[in-house]
Structure 1
Amino acid sequence: MTKTQSAVVTAFPRRVDATPSQDLKPALVANRIREMILESQLLPGEPVRERALSEILQVSRTPLREALKILASEGLVKLHPRRGATVAVLGANDVRHLLEFLGGLEAFAGKLACRNATPEELRELRALHHEMLASYLRGDRIGYFDRNQQIHQALVRCAMNPVLAEHHRVVNAQLYRIRYECNLKTNRWEAAIKEHEAILDALEARDEAAIEKLLETHVLKAFDLMQAAGDFAKAK
């Protein structure tokens, strides 16, 4: 596994449901296809070729098709009657709507985290922030993005709301590749570091109003950055 692939897998960990064995295989297949999409091995708009994937993943068509249904429910692929599946394409409006929703989820998560986070969890978040800062100082974009995602995921865990966490996981999956590529193209590192610092300060102060505003603004800035980078120049 390459360094880039390792960062992708760390920031978006494998998800295996604790369900009976007959349901486990499609979940594992979905994990692998999800990774292929996030790693740009399968590109937006590209058809998902079932025969080739079956051979690569060494599975039959039945668990593969069940896996594609899982990914379709997450918005990562589109299912077309009698035409198979394609990797989902996100236009400017799609990304804006998803980021608005993600910003709202994280703002609410921050509010709940102010109530529920333990001192140990706060120390963990600070440690991750220091690791992200170290990656920034080294110019390590992959390490920086990895720690950035871990911070957001840890904050959502601090909310102690499994329904919120599941919605966050699904929406973040749809945006992950775009946000990763945006991170490689832009130079907003220093501002983002300061925003994370302010978010952690608000969390440690248990300031619900401040952290809600900070998180929503922080997430939505990604859309402005992608527009400035010209990512949506051809989007309709």
Structure 2
Amino acid sequence: MQNSLKEEMVASPAAAPSLPRLARPRLHDTVVEHLRQFIVEGVLTPGTKLNERELCETLGISRTPLREAFKVLAAEGLIDLSPNRGASISQMSESEVRENFELMSGLEAFSGELACERITPAELAEIKALHYAMLVCRTQNDLPGYYSRNQEIHDRINEAARNSALRQAYQSINRRLQAMRFRSNQQSEKWDQAIDDHEDMIKALEARDGKKLAAVLKRHLLEKRDAVLPLVSGDGMAGQRMRG
């Protein structure tokens, strides 16, 4: 049998600390952020049924803000809500993972092309600073810190594209893929390959070479797809064993 959710959170190095008591206006957003972090970093894995009582104890909150957060995450496709079975972490099929990564590769490639046309020197400097901070995290073997900066780089490139329709589509798909993008770097050679790709991204941005950046971003996302598909297959098999 699986350990309780609380035991998993204590055992996992990726688990966030208990929340401090917060002012009501910020509480809802903070709960959403922490649950999203738990999902991305694998503290809450695909198919896990969420225990409201244990989550409330862990986060130091009542059930009302927790249920409000569930609704937000359900709208993002991160959790499934059922009137009879409660809430559980969403689990994509292999075909859904493949298709979403393929779509994201196109969105990121288009973001790169537009960003090279529209990025400002200040925005480029901020992305380079994030890149160097990301490299420091790699030397410290800090995967959560690395991933946070990695994702911010991708997000800043998308922002620099200055296309609101593209931005909306990018954010919607990316939320569903973040946990798998995080897992794709858990193998050392995959992590190092991702860093090489980011070096190429910076060079293309500096040169304002949209075609080059688009090609790097597309390859980068498709490589992540190939890295996570075997993991998704394993998740599916584990889920079948649990249900049986």
TM-score tier (shorter): 0.7 to 0.9
Aligned residues of 1:186 and 1:225 also touching (Cα < 8 A): no
1:151 paired with 2:149, answer: no
The partner residue of 2:109 within 107, 110, 113 is 107
Q: Deviations over 1:207-228 (max 9, x none)?
A: 222222221121111111234x
Counterpart AA for 2:176: Q
- Structure-1 residue corresponding to 2:31: 29
Amino acid at match of 1:220: L
Q: Which residue does the alignment assign to 1:117?
A: 119
**Cα distance in structure 2, aligned partners of 1:112 and 1:63:** 39
Aligned length: 219
Aligned-pair CA distance for 1:180: 1.7
| Paired position in structure 2 for 1:172 | 174
Shift of 1:86: 0.8
Is the contact between residue 141 and residue 183 of structure 1 (CA under 8 Å) also seen in structure 2? no
Partner of 1:130: 132
**2:81 aligned counterpart, secondary structure:** strand
Q: Which residue of 2 aligns with 1:9?
A: none
The CA distance in 1 between the partners of 2:135 and 2:27, in whole Å, is 39
CA separation in 2, counterparts of 1:35 and 1:85? 17
| Alpha-carbon distance change, 167 to 25 in structure 1, aligned in 2, over 3 angstroms | farther
Calculate percent identity across the aligned residue pairs: 37
Offset at residue 187 of structure 1 (A):
0.8
Gap runs ≥5 in structure 1:
7-20
Query: Of residues 83, 86, 92 in structure 2, which corresponds to 1:84?
Result: 86
- Gap regions ≥5 residues in structure 2: 1-9, 17-22, 238-244
The corresponding residue for 1:18 is none
Tell me the equivalent position of 1:187. Answer: 189
**Inter-partner Cα distance in structure 2 for 1:62 and 1:5:** 22
- Displacement after TM superposition at 1:68 (Å): 1.0
- TM-score, length-normalised on structure 1? 0.77
Equivalent residue, structure 1, for 2:141: 140
Aligned to 2:214: 212
TM-score, with length taken from structure 2: 0.75
Distance 2:26 2:172 in 1: 19
Q: CA RMSD in A?
A: 3.0
Which amino acid is 2:105 matched to? G
Distance 1:232 1:33, change over 3 A: closer
